[in-house]
Structures are given as structure tokens and as C-alpha cells.
């Protein structure tokens, strides 16, 4: 009997995998876990032969867990995730870390037929897989491994997207032109608008009254949620951090950057580090150069970047400098930016 531990933060997926796998005479799901920390306890207690592992989970992502698992307690793993289409970067990384196989979840609804055909076969193959010292996998009798030379990894491309926007002079009007056209299911958006501290809260409230998305002044520790826009509070920098597969805000002071606090560069640089290819960056009208280097960092990490054009800008300073340093993927008039944000985020979700 092949003992399986199912690790996935979705209760529906855990229930479905358990039901389908338990239909097989040679497979038994001995336990489930909604995150890697619970999985670690279950592994010690239940001693499974095979683990099915999602990649997007709270507290620790699946690739980080897989790396630690192969180093300290190697067990055959089948990755089951919407982030692992064939030959994707995440799929190749998972295999490099020691996963026996990677199975892509169907798009919007789980297919029982696909589970029966692919995942069950993968679990059976994993149960007789062994690891050599380089973590390549062969379908032979299991043997022990020392776990040396496990490559480090972090989850790069995820289904959790984020949009970062920077603006200054003329930006309030520009944001009032862009935000009301954004749909409620848009990925979370974070904005730095150069503005005195007494105005950011009321500005957010005014935008919220005319937008489909929820708009609020950001607070320290706010999760970046789909359908929500977070505006940096005046006199505070806003940074984006990542925990597991989710993003949250860090609000702090510190010295002004380009004479600004909040600074667009501070936000963009943090998004480049936390989200990389999962981000879209937008730089709007404004005086000076704040945001240009940060937008370039985002682009170099794989983000799509948009700059407002000169004709529609009140002051063509920040977008101009960003364009000159090569940080802008496409330059658009203000009237086209909301549609571009929607279309680019959809492309990234594919």
C-alpha cells in the first residue's frame, strides 16, 4: 500500500485528491496538510511514502519547502500546482530540486478524469523512485540519500500578481482617470503618490467613492488583496514584502529619497525584489526622476512596465527619465493605461 500525504492550502483540493486516490486499491491517503509547517509534523508522525505538494501556500511556498525537505528528509514528491505547466520555470525548478513529477492543475475547475489519469500514475511512479546524490530520479528500488548539494530556490512565478504605480505632479488627476476603469477582480495594486500626509487618507476615500476596486490608505501589515488599491500614507515609505505566496505592506519612515517620503523608487525596488515577474509597474506624470531606477529594477526582474506619454502628462519628468534609462516596456497615453494594466495582468496569469 502506497501511503500518501496531500499538502495543499485548498480544502477542496485536499478533499478531492484524498477521495480519488483512496479509490485505488494500492494507494491510501494517510493525512493532509494545509501548509508546510503542518506537513512537517505529519511526515514525522505518518511516515508517508509519497507527498503531493502545491506550490502556493501560506507561511512558506512549496519550492522552499521542497528544498528543505530534500535536504533534511528526502521523500518522493509529486508537485500538483497551477504554477507548473510543462517546461515552465517553476516546473523545471521543482524537478531540479528533486520532485519526481509535476502535474498542472486544470485551469478553473479540477477535472476528476485528469486526477485519475495523471496524478495517480505519478504517485505510483514516485513510490518506486529513488534519488542519487544529485537528486535526479530513477524508477528503481528506493534507497537512502544524504541530501547534499540541494539547490536553493524560491517561488518566482506565481498566480499572485501585483501592480505598482508611482506618480507626482498631476498624478491625482491621472489616478482619477485610471482607477475608476479598473475591474473588481484586478490583482492588488499599490500606489505612491507624492502628497502631504494630511491629504492621502481623504484622497483614498474620494477615489474609493468612484471606483469599483476598494481604495484605502495603506497601513503597516496590510495584505495586498485582489480588488484592492493601497495608497502610501504621506510622510511614510511603503514597501512590499512577501510571506509564503502573499504580499503585504511595510510602512516606515527613514530618510527621504529624491527629497520624497513616500518615494516611488523605494516602493518599486521592494516590488522588484518581492514579486519580480509577477508584477506590473506603471509610472505616471510627475516632476523629477523618482521611480526611474526602481522601475528599471522591476523590468530587469521580468515585470512588465508602462510609462505615461509626454502629451498626456502634466509634467513629463518621471516617465521621461524612466524611458531614457530603459525602464519602460511601453509608452502610452493616459487614456489607454487602464486597459493596458488589465490586459497585461491577464497575460501574466496565463
Active site residues: 168, 194, 290
Q: What is the distance between the alpha carbons of residues 332 and 81, in angstroms, rounded to a whole number?
A: 35
Q: What is the distance between the alpha carbons of residues 129 and 116, in angstroms, rounded to a whole number?
A: 20
Of 305, 307, 303, 315, which is closest to residue 334 (Cα–Cα)?
307
Annotate 147-173 with DSSP letters as a single string: -TTPPP----S-S--EEEEEE-TTHHH
Residue keyed to cell 509610472: 283
Annotate 216-261 with DSSP letters as a single string: EE--TT-B--TTEEEEPPTTSEEEEEEETTEEEEEEE--S-BTTBS
- According to DSSP, the residues that pair with 165 across neighbouring strands are 191, 282
Q: What is the distance between the alpha carbons of residues 226 and 125, in angstroms, rounded to a whole number?
A: 38
E strands, 34-119, are 50-53, 77-81, 101-104
Residue keyed to cell 522601475: 295
How is residue 280 written as a grid cell?
506590473
How is residue 69 written as a grid cell?
525537505
Q: 295 by DSSP, 3-state: which? A: helix
Amino acid at each position: 500500500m502506497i501511503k500518501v500525504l496531500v499538502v495543499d492550502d485548498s480544502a477542496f483540493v485536499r478533499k478531492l485528491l484524498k477521495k480519488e486516490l483512496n479509490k485505488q486499491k494500492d494507494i491510501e491517503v494517510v493525512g493532509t496538510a494545509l501548509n508546510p509547517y503542518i506537513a512537517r509534523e505529519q511526515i514525522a508522525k505518518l511516515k508517508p511514502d509519497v507527498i503531493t505538494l502545491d506550490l502556493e501556500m501560506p507561511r512558506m511556498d512549496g519550492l522552499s519547502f521542497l528544498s528543505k525537505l530534500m535536504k533534511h528528509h528526502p521523500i518522493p514528491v509529486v508537485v500538483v500546482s497551477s504554477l507548473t505547466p510543462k517546461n515552465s520555470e517553476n516546473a523545471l525548478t521543482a524537478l531540479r530540486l528533486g520532485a519526481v513529477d509535476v502535474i498542472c492543475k486544470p485551469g478553473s475547475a479540477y477535472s476528476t478524469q485528469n486526477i485519475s489519469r495523471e496524478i495517480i500514475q505519478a504517485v505510483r511512479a514516485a513510490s518506486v523512485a529513488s534519488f542519487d546524490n544529485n537528486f535526479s530520479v530513477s524508477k528503481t528500488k528506493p534507497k537512502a540519500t544524504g541530501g547534499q548539494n540541494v539547490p536553493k530556490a524560491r517561488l518566482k512565478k506565481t498566480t499572485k500578481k501585483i501592480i505598482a504605480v508611482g506618480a507626482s505632479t498631476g498624478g491625482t488627476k491621472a489616478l482619477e482617470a485610471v482607477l475608476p476603469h479598473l475591474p473588481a477582480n484586478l490583482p492588488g495594486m499599490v500606489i505612491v503618490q507624492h502628497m502631504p500626509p494630511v491629504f492621502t487618507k481623504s484622497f483614498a476615500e474620494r477615489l474609493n467613492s468612484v471606483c469599483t476596486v476598494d481604495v484605502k490608505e495603506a497601513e503597516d501589515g496590510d495584505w495586498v488583496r485582489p480588488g484592492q488599491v493601497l495608497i502610501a500614507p504621506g510622510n511614510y515609505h511603503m514597501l512590499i514584502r512577501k510571506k509564503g505566496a502573499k504580499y503585504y505592506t511595510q510602512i516606515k519612515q527613514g530618510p527621504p529619497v529624491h527629497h520624497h517620503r513616500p518615494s516611488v523608487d523605494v516602493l518599486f525596488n521592494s516590488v522588484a525584489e518581492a514579486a519580480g515577474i509577477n508584477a506590473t509597474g506603471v509610472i505616471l506624470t510627475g516632476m523629477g526622476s523618482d521611480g526611474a531606477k526602481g522601475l528599471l529594477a522591476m523590468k530587469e526582474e521580468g515585470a512588465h512596465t508602462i510609462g505615461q506619454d509626454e502629451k498626456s502628462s502634466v509634467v513629463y519628468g518621471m516617465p521621461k527619465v524612466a524611458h531614457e534609462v530603459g525602464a519602460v516596456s511601453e509608452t502610452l497615453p493616459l487614456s489607454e493605461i487602464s486597459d493596458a494594466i488589465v490586459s497585461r495582468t491577464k497575460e501574466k496569469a496565463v
